[in-house]
Amino acid sequence: MPITTIEDIYSEFSSVNIYEPDSIIGFYEKNAIFFNNIKQFKDADELIMYIEIVCRYATAIKDKGRYNLAIDFLEKHQVFIDQERKRLNISDTDNFYYNGLSLIKGVAYYNLKDYKTSTPIFKKLVLLDNQSDLYAEWYQYSLYGQRRWISNVILIISMALIAIGIVFSKAIKSPIIKIQMDSIGILGILGTSIYDYYTKRSFRKKKNSRI
């Protein structure tokens, strides 16, 4: 008997290995005609099933490095999902998977180095759930990416101060000024290096957190 309902689709989906992107992608594409022809849902349960499948598929294509595709997919389906939430008068579907749609989009923008777009997405998620370490961490990583130019400026200035002190050492008559220039330069390099190291180290450990 052909699969004709979201319950049937979800039942089959439950047997798919959610940690294998190709399995999720294959399942979704196999049922693409069904998904593309959904016009509405009869209740909140159907909508929540659909949201989880959409979230899993978006995660899979994001994990495959198809960031632009993930963003385009989510932009389209979030509009439909929000329309259905409004139509069904549902206000309690801001669950893990619903918020996950925005999280995946933020991660995709982050990986495209579009920090100006990803940071507000993560900030909104933090405001929705300030107890989530995952949202808070991604928000901090995105802020770091957005502000990375500040660290670069500090590093360049610090290196310039040390270089000036070496090249023009004979022209700098005051040993105190020379020591201050070197100290500021060294502190600037050490400070930015330590900050970058620990931020990137923390990021590498937690980057692969899954939806």
Q: How confident is the model over 19-39, as a mean pLDDT? A: 93
Residue 158 and residue 195 in contact, taking contact as beta carbons nearer than 8 Å = no
Pick the most confident of 41-45, 163-167, 181-185: 41-45
- DSSP 3-state assignment of 27? helix
Q: Please name which of 198, 29, 207, 22 lies closest in space to residue 103, comparing C-alpha atoms.
A: 207
Residues whose CB falls within 8 Å of the CB of residue 92, separated by 6 or more in sequence, listed in order: 44
Rounded to the nearest 10 degrees, the angle between the axes of helix 175-206 and helix 133-146 is 140
Predicted local distance difference test score (pLDDT) of residue 92: 60
Flag whether pLDDT at 38 surpasses 50: yes
Q: How confident is the model over 67-85, as a mean pLDDT? A: 95
Question: CA-CA distance, 165 to 74, in Å (whole number)?
Answer: 53
Predicted local distance difference test score (pLDDT) of residue 175: 78
pLDDT band at 1; cut points 50, 70, 90: very low
What is the dihedral angle through the alpha carbons of 139, 143, 146, 149, rounded to the nearest 10 degrees? -150
Flag whether pLDDT at 25 surpasses 60: yes
What is the dihedral angle through the alpha carbons of 54, 97, 66, 24, rounded to the nearest 10 degrees? -50
pLDDT tens-place string over residues 86-141: 999 887 655 789 999 999 999 999 999 999 999 999 999 999 888 888 999 999 89
Read off the amino acid at residue 164. Answer: I
* % of the chain at pLDDT higher than 90: 53
Flag whether pLDDT at 208 surpasses 70: no
pLDDT band at 84; cut points 50, 70, 90: very high
Q: How confident is the model over 204-211, as a mean pLDDT? A: 56
Give the architecture (CATH level 2) of 6-146: Alpha Horseshoe (1.25)
Rounded to the nearest 10 degrees, the angle between the axes of helix 96-111 and helix 133-146 is 20
Mean pLDDT of all residues belonging to the chain: 86
What pTM was computed for the model? 0.77
Predicted local distance difference test score (pLDDT) of residue 78: 94
Burial class (CB in 10 A: 0-12, 13-18, 19+), 36: exposed
- Torsion over CA: 133, 149, 119, 25 (sign): negative
pLDDT band at 203; cut points 50, 70, 90: low
